[in-house]
Amino acid sequence: MNIYLTYGTGEAPTELSAFDAALFDTGIANYNLIRLSSVIPDNSKIIEGKIDWNQREFGHRLYLVMSQQTETKPGKEAWAGVGWLQDKDGKGLFVEHHGSSEKLVKENIIKSLTNMQKYRPEKFGPIQHKLMGIMCKRQPVCALVCAVFKSEKW
């Protein structure tokens, strides 16, 4: 199974429209999002890079792990991140964190995944992550990172 790790940012007059703009930049604006917990199935391959599915389908279900952060105060930052680790068979774990700084989000990803693998018997590879951030200038902003599993008709 291919899991697409995509990301983006948005800026708009409201928090909701900033989130929508980030969804468009991420390439998944026209889906009904279904959030998953953070378990990566066997035989999965993480493909990192922006996708552009905005015109592919409209209104379908999209299964994903998602990290988002909005910010409304000028001069403040919004950061989102997804981290993961996998074993040799492709199974693994995702975590999603968000906050006001790149450093905080990265630290929380590493702490979470380090702890989560302690009580699992699998031998996981190194922790990996993708972070996205944006500075609020005048309007609300949103940072978004998503691990997209698949889309499905209703």
Domain 2-152 adopts which CATH fold? Pyruvoyl-Dependent Histidine Decarboxylase; Chain B (3.50.20)
Which pLDDT belongs to residue 65? 98
Percent of the residues in the chain that have a pLDDT greater than 90, as a whole number? 99
Q: Dump pLDDT digits (tens) for 10-26.
A: 999 999 999 999 999 99
Secondary structure (3-state) at 54: coil
Which pLDDT belongs to residue 152? 96
Single-letter amino acid, residue 24: F
Give the sign of the dihedral formed by CA 149, CA 36, CA 41, CA 49: positive
Which pLDDT belongs to residue 150? 95
Residue-averaged pLDDT of the chain: 97
Q: Dump pLDDT digits (tens) for 80-122.
A: 999 999 999 999 999 999 999 999 999 999 999 999 999 999 9
Whole-structure pTM value: 0.94
Concatenated DSSP letters of 75-96: T-EEEEEEEEEE-TTS-EEEEE
Domain edges within the chain: 2-152
* Average pLDDT, integer, range 38-56: 95
Cα angle 12, 134, 32 (rounded to 5 degrees) comes to: 60
Alpha-carbon torsion angle 121, 84, 37, 64, nearest 10: -150
DSSP letter, residue 41: P
